[in-house]
Chains A and B, each alone.
Chain A
Amino acid sequence: MGLGILASRTIRPASRLLQSQSSNFFLRTIVSKPELQSPESAAVSEPEPPTQILPPRNPIGGARVHFSNPEDAIEVFVDGYAVKVPKGFTVLQACEVAGVDIPRFCYHSRLSIAGNCRMCLVEVEKSPKPVASCAMPALPGMKIKTDTPIAKKAREGVMEFLLMNHPLDCPICDQGGECDLQDQSMAFGSDRGRFTEMKRSVVDKNLGPLVKTVMTRCIQCTRCVRFASEVAGVQDLGMLGRGSGEEIGTYVEKLMTSELSGNVIDICPVGALTSKPFAFKARNWELKATETIDVSDAVGSNIRVDSRGPEVMRIIPRLNEDINEEWISDKTRFCYDGLKRQRLSDPMIRDSDGRFKAVSWRDALAVVGDVIHQVKPEEIVGVAGQLSDAESMMVLKDFVNRMGSDNVWCEGTAVGVDADLRYSYLMNTSISGLENADIFLLVGTQPRVEAAMVNARICKTVRASNAKVGYVGPPAEFNYDCKHLGTGPDTLKEIAAGRHPFCTALKNAKNPAIIVGAGLFNRTDKNAILSSVESIAQANNVVRPDWNGLNFLLLYAAQAAALDLGLIQQSAKALESAKFVYLMGADDVDVDKIPKDAFVVYQGHHGDKAVYRANVILPASAFTEKEGTYENTEGFTQQTVPAVPTVGDARDDWKIVRALSEISGVKLPYNSIEGVRSRIKNVAPNLVNTDEREPAAFGPTLKPECKETMSTTPFQPAVENFYMTNSITRASKIMAQCSAVLLKK
């Protein structure tokens, strides 16, 4: 030590010049100690670090742990941290519970395990090589290490292999910015590659107008194959070939016609399968995400609307375990381009020569207010459409009632549908409760086209627990094993009487579920059919205190809320004898039934069918532009959030009716949305509790006996064209392409 200082002192005089020049110059000499120069010091191990108290770790990646059998919990150690997991958990799931995110490409929590990407390799003590954590079950006392050099080297190696044949497409690939490969190569990959040969390329497959395929980018993770066969129930996709020549495709030139085909776009970790309508339109960092609800069917799937300025660019699913898990149907996903076409943006009045003329709001409302006072109260009719939210329906009903009329109803509810008992129009087993059923009886409903998410749930149940499905209705396609029992009410009679062979299966089931379609509400013998369904339910113990298996599948997003608020059709001849008809987005109304001299006001956002009969057009906002409450078919209340501004001079539906009421002299007592909501609270308080499901209070025992007889006409399909059911989808170009190409002829 002294030698070193002496050595440093000898150097110093020579560099005194340098030192004097800059006082900030720091001269440091290398000093060596005798202890360090001896060979034994290298062999001495470091002292043990004091055992720290590790901070508590939270499960990562949305993982939730459910101990179905608390005694069966295993303890494993992840990076030194002890965590308790249930018995069947894999190493990857245990690491997720412990808060460690392991990179993966082929593993997906809702699909079966493939284990072919090898990115999830972690080091497990006492194992000769790293194990694929997604496939390895966690054994008690396992010590898992995720950040050792072996695990890191494994990840770098796998990433290098994946990138070898992956094309340099990032600038032109739609997945850039949200690509798993990009993110994981930045986080876990090495900084340079060693590949100098030619990359292979693969031909692109044509999967339809919705999914764009660039198969060169595919990393053969087989997520799409597993999704198509397990969740969608169609075995369209498969892996052809072996080794580096592997290709994902349909073996024959087949398009993906499944209604869940758009979800492979979300699932694919790279840009091999992307959205064809969204191709090259936007990057994900310039989009603003709004979490809202879909209204194309009665399921109320949770979606995220990505918008750029005033335009909706794409729609992505949001996780909701109870309703739609992580999937949405194609109609939900691709109907957004209908929001840009055929939009009503200015109030219009029909001139004497039959053409529409744009006017200001003052004039339009003044005209309507004049006309409404010239008709008798019982000749006023209001019809709410399939996409109306609860607030606007409440205000419409209040307005029409204050004008003295009782004729206000929602599309899809024919005469005689009563809304007294909620069980008679809701899905009483909730959508997630359908997973516990072990036998399904579908009466007059084709869930694949009416509510694709409910169909996915039935498919999941059938796959998981081999549930039986019996179907009564017109011949239809199902993506799970389904017995076609019959086509009409006769089959129902047989099942109710116990003569049908399906009855034994029904009786032996522990949790039977009957799903009745809302298309049956339009039949004249509806009461008879419902009473026979209820007798089937009673005979097979379907409605019990712990399990209510009697379900009704509604068709439109507005139906459940309308029935809760009391918008029901009282008289069958209301439309034929009307002199003033107020259509609030109602396009499915039979326009020929309206008399020629009636004054029709159409309030809506698209110039669809009913506009051509209207005398006055009042532009309203669509579901992406307003904050509205919707109740789905199981009674779950949700709210949409505005993602883009309204088009032109359009206003919210309820505001238009409220303004009209003031002009007509029957001013409604509320003028803000909170006021409307407190009015709704008086009528149907479950519509104010958002994100909550209100089950029906009473069962079928309260219903009186029905004396009518069933007719013999077989059941008709409720939805003819899956891709074009409401005004938005009928205006959409993508939906038109789909219905031209993808519908089964």
Chain B
Amino acid sequence: MAAPFTLRKIGVPPNSANLTEARRRVFDFFRAACRSIPTIMDIYNLQDVVAPSQLRFAISAQIRNNAHITDPKVIDLLLFKGMEELTDIVDHAKQRHHIIGQYVVGEGLVQNTGNKDQGRTDFLKNFYTSNYF
């Protein structure tokens, strides 16, 4: 009933009717992304840098970031952006340092924030970031 996800889509599929369909689309997207992970690792030579499970965790963390959203149209738009990003990556439109900086290491990524900051106040978090707050 819903247009299947293809990595090369022609035309824009119609909006999801309700939340369940949006959920289904999210999981379809996640599956498509995970299935393209081996290609990504091959294109960008990430074999020694990261394990596929880490990349899967990164993708799922970003999806989980928006887990609180209930409006199907918003979810569709986020999926559209996610699909666009995935297409770019698989098309080798990005480069290695982009992937490493955005999904593997670096500040702001979920996998890098450890336990040390959870008990900290806003003051300390701001203090560690910069002088101007």
With both beta carbons as reference points, the residue of chain B lying nearest to A362 in the complex is identified as: B128
Q: Contact at B131–A659, with CB atoms within 8 Å?
A: no
CA distance in complex: A361, B130 (Å): 10
Say yes or no: B116 contacts A659, CB within 8 Å.
no
Whether, in the assembled complex, A223 has its beta carbon less than 8 Å from a beta carbon of chain B, the answer is no
List residues of chain A with CB within 8 A of the CB of B124: 659, 662-663
**Which of A362, A655, A663, A671 contacts B131, CB < 8 Å?**
A655
Convert B117-130 into 0s and 1s, putting 1 for each residue whose CB lies closer than 8 angstroms to a CB of A. Answer: 00011111001100
* Binding-face segment, A117-125, A279-287, A645-653: A645-653
**Cβ of B106 to closest chain A Cβ, rounded Å:** 14
A362 to B115, CA, bound (A): 13
Assess whether A621 is interfacial by the CB under 8 Å rule: yes
Binary flags per residue of A516-543, CB closer than 8 Å to B gives 1, else 0: 0000000000000000000000000000
Q: A361-B128, A651-B131 are in contact. Are A658 and B116 (CB under 8 A)?
A: no
Name the CB-closest residue of A to B116. Answer: A362
Question: In whole angstroms, how far apart are the Cα atoms of A659 and B116 in the complex?
Answer: 14
What residue of chain A has the Cβ atom nearest to residue B123's Cβ? A671
Rounded to whole Å, the gap between the CB of A627 and the closest CB of chain B is: 11
A residues in contact with B123, CB < 8 Å: 658-659, 662, 671
CA distance A655 to B128 in the complex (A): 11
Complex alpha-carbon distance, A15 and B120, angstroms? 92
Shortest beta-carbon distance from B10 to chain A in Å: 49
Give the 6 A-B CB pairs with smallest separation, nearest first: A671-B123, A659-B127, A651-B131, A646-B131, A361-B128, A662-B124
B 69-120 contacts with A by CB, 8 A: 116, 120
- Interface bits A453-495 vs B (CB < 8 Å: 1, else 0): 0000000000000000000000000000000000000000000
Tell me the chain A residues, 147-173 only, with Cβ under 8 Å from chain B: none
B127–A361 touching, CB < 8 Å = yes
A361 CA / B128 CA spacing, docked (Å) = 6
Minimum CB–CB distance from A359 to chain B (whole Å) comes to 12
Q: Enumerate 24 A-B pairs (CB-CB under 8 Å) in ascending A order.
A: A360-B128, A361-B128, A362-B116, A362-B128, A621-B131, A646-B131, A650-B131, A651-B127, A651-B131, A652-B131, A655-B127, A655-B131, A658-B123, A659-B123, A659-B124, A659-B127, A662-B120, A662-B121, A662-B123, A662-B124, A663-B124, A667-B121, A671-B122, A671-B123
CA distance A646 to B116 in the complex (A): 26
Q: How many cross-chain pairs have Cβ atoms below 8 Å apart between A and B? A: 26
Q: Closest residue to A670 on the B side, CB-wise?
A: B123
Query: CB-nearest residue of chain A relative to B120?
Result: A662
Most buried by A among B120, B121, B128: B128
Q: Give the shortest distance, in Å, between B131 (CB) and chain A (any CB).
A: 5
Cβ–Cβ < 8 Å partners of B122 in chain A: 671
A663-B124 Cα distance, complex, nearest whole Å: 9
Which residues of B in the span 43-85 have a Cβ within 8 Å of any Cβ on A?
A: none
Q: Which residues of chain A have C-beta atoms less than 8 A from B128's C-beta? A: 360-362
Interface residues of A in 67-94 (CB under 8 A from B): none
Nearest chain A CB to B51's CB is how many angstroms away? 26
Q: Which residue of B lies closest to A648 (CB)?
A: B131
Q: Which residues of B contact A646 (CB under 8 A)?
A: 131
The docked-state distance in angstroms from the alpha carbon of A646 to that of B133 is: 13
CB-CB contacts of A624-659 with B at 8 A, as 1s and 0s?
000000000000000000000010001110010011
Please name the residue on chain A nearest to B117 by beta carbon: A362
Measured CA separation A362–B124 after assembly (Å): 9
B-side contacts of A658, CB under 8 Å: 123
> Roughly how many angstroms separate A362 CA and B127 CA in the complex, as a whole number?
10
Could you tell me if A671 and B116 are in contact, using CB atoms closer than 8 angstroms?
Answer: no
Which residues of B lie under 8 Å from residue A655 when comparing CB positions? 127, 131
Instruction: List chain A residues, Cβ under 8 A from B120.
Output: 662
In the assembled complex, the CB of B107 is this many whole angstroms from the nearest CB of chain A, namely 11
Residues of B within 8 A of A361 (CB): 127-128
Interface residues in A28-71 (C-beta closer than 8 Å to B): none
Q: Given the complex of chains A and B, what is the CA–CA distance between A536 and B113 in angstroms?
A: 68
Query: Which of B122, B128, B131 counts the most A-chain CB atoms under 10 A from its CB?
Result: B131
Contacts of A651 in B (CB 8 A): 127, 131
Measured in the bound complex, the distance between the Cα atoms of B122 and A650 in whole Å is 19
CA distance A503 to B123 in the complex (A): 60
The complex places the Cα of A111 from the Cα of B109 at a distance, in Å, of 66
Q: Shortest beta-carbon distance, A499 to chain B, in Å?
A: 60
CB of B46, distance to nearest CB on chain A (Å): 26
Closest Cβ of chain B to A640, distance in Å, is: 15
Interface 1/0s, chain A 209-244, versus B by CB < 8 A? 000000000000000000000000000000000000
- Closest chain B residue to A651 by CB distance? B131
Complex CA gap A621/B131 in Å reads 10
Given A655-B127, A655-B131, A659-B124, list of 4 further CB < 8 A pairs? A360-B128, A361-B128, A651-B127, A652-B131
Across the interface, which residues of A come within 8 angstroms of B131, CB to CB?
621, 646, 650-652, 655
Least Cβ distance of B122 to chain A in Å? Answer: 8
